[in-house]
Structure 1
Amino acid sequence: MALNYMAVAAINLVAALLSVPVIAAGIWLSTQADNACVQILQWPVIALGVALLAVGLAGFVAAFCRLPWLLLAYLVAISVLVVALACLAVFVFAVTTGSSGHRVPSRDFLEYDLDDYSGWLRARLDAPGRWDRIKACLAATPTCTDFNATYATAQDLFTAAPNRMSPLQSGCCKPPTKCGYTLVTPTYWISPISATADPDCAAWSNEEAKFCYSCASCKAGLLQNLRGEWRRADLILAVATAALLAVYAMGCYAFRTAKTDELFRRYRQGYT
């Protein structure tokens, strides 16, 4: 019986250790400039990771100290966390479906359309007063400063490969190509003579604090950036969920075996 309880303790310790990559994924998201400004996914991920760590350690203690009632509570709690992680992984995958960008004439970099992304994500950006806070946060990052330093000439900018220019830089640090602006420096452009009805074209400003932060293209670039980062974190959530399911199944089996052995021991003691 002691051996069975030790097996349960070891399995529960593994469950606690599986919280480490989940927490790490949340912390990694919080270190990304765009996620730090938006603040949507990292805190639920970190919270689930911490909860998983606490429950796993509680299950380890329960098995080590042979507390069946606490072990039963652990199994219920871990099943809830597995469902929560699975739901979050599926949800993140669903809301990050969308465009990977499109090419524009005579340019190698990609540009992005806001309508290509999920309504749920767009609604998070368009909540009252939220975009004003996000764009002020983005303007305080070195995103566009790095953009200006990276591309010294028009040729450097126009031939920038998609993996060199981030979606955030493409959408926020320059006017959309369709607007017909003339480049002086990567962050200084001359407005075309002919007027355009596109709001993004009128929203561009050569002021460092403004640039295209009020443009729909900036929101689209931000969502594309989030999409790439969230998909990486989602892979960790999916793997952790699958591993937890296996751990949960082994834990249930080991707990049932331990309880069976204990009942059998009591039965034998009753006839001796």
Structure 2
Amino acid sequence: MVRLSNNLVGILNFITFLLSIPILGGGIWLLLKGNTDCEKFLDRPMIILGIVLMLVSLAGLIGACCHVSLLLWLYLFVMFFLIVAILCFTIFAFFVTNKGAGDLVSGRGYKEYKLGDYSNWLQNRVEDSENWKNIRSCIEQSKVCQKLADDDLPFNDFIKKNLTPLESGCCKPPTECGFTYVNATYWSETGGNVSANVDCKTWDNDGKKLCYECGSCKGGFLANLKSDWKKVAIVNISILIVIIIIYSVGCCAFRNSRNANKYQRHYGRP
């Protein structure tokens, strides 16, 4: 049992160490070669994650294989902190994304989104000018609106299309504006009601502006974020279960290492 727990911790941490190498390498590559703001946004988190995984896995690997209690204790401390952090993040993500959903529009195949439907915490994050500048840059670089315009759909086909939250919120004006459809990203304001919604005044047919500064675009982004965070929460729960199992095995290895060290101090090496 002593060797089993130690060997298992060693194997698991060796695998983690191998996984940390491409993560760290990917972060360094983005730092040196990343061209867009979205890519550069990911470089530091990936580098930090890669370094932390590498150091923690080395501590667990050396501690388990060489019976170094101090390293195993450090390894278990970090693992415990990780368990608490993942649990807190999962609960927090569920709490802040619990509110908000798209509104069905009569005669349309898509939903429309309002910023005010989401939690105050999320609203404050996207209303921050610096945050939204980075988010908007990512949306533009994804060319989501350009791809929608390239489809060149007639009006009857367009209104039946199941648009994504970003397409619905950022690439067209809200339906209540009453603008006349020319194409997916160009709408004539003739006969429209600009005062119906503040987003109607914000809308611009310029391909670089569109509705990127609209509340509907921010609401569409949050709808997209909400969907992604739900998927992340499911992944987090799975990871949490695995980490708890590894942590339990690590506790056994730590106890075995401490007992082995006590035996060596009292009786010398067998």
Band of TM-score, shorter chain? 0.7 to 0.9
Unaligned runs of 5+ in 1: 27-34
* Matched residues, number: 257
SS in 1 for 2:206: coil
1:195–1:2 CA distance, 2 compared to 1 (3 A): closer
Q: Which moved more, 1:131-140 or 1:119-128?
A: 131-140
SS in 1 for 2:187: strand
Alignment partner of 2:186 out of 185, 188, 200: 188
Q: Which residue of 1 aligns with 2:55?
A: 54
Q: How far apart, in 1, do the equivalents of 2:193 and 2:247 lie?
A: 65
SS in 1 for 2:211: coil
TM-score scaled to structure 2, two decimals?
0.80
Unaligned runs of 5+ in 2: 28-36
Q: How far apart, in 2, do the equivalents of 1:49 and 1:91 lie?
A: 24
Q: How far apart, in 2, do the equivalents of 1:153 and 1:177 lie?
A: 16
Whether the 8 Å contact between 1:16 and 1:53 is mirrored in structure 2 is yes
Q: Which residue of 2 aligns with 1:158?
A: 159
Q: Residue deviations 1:94-146, cap 9 Å, x none?
A: 22222231211110111111112121121111124443453344334311111
Q: Which residue of 1 aligns with 2:104?
A: 103
Whether the 8 Å contact between 1:11 and 1:250 is mirrored in structure 2 is no
Whether the 8 Å contact between 1:15 and 1:247 is mirrored in structure 2 is no
Give the C-alpha shift of residue 89 in structure 1.
2.2
Q: How far apart, in 1, do the equivalents of 2:201 and 2:78 lie?
A: 54
Whether the 8 Å contact between 2:170 and 2:210 is mirrored in structure 1 is yes
Is residue 2:231 matched to residue 1:229?
no
Matches within 5 A, 1:1-272: 5-13=6-14, 36=38, 47-48=48-49, 50-161=51-162, 165-191=163-189, 192-264=191-263
TM-score scaled to structure 1, two decimals?
0.80
Q: Which residue of 2 aligns with 1:31?
A: none
RMSD (Å), alpha carbons: 3.3
Q: How far apart, in 1, do the equivalents of 2:83 and 2:52 lie?
A: 11
Q: Residue deviations 1:64-121, cap 9 Å, x none?
A: 1221221112111211122122222222222222223121111011111111212112
Q: Which residue of 2 aligns with 1:30?
A: none
1:132–1:262 CA distance, 2 compared to 1 (3 A): closer
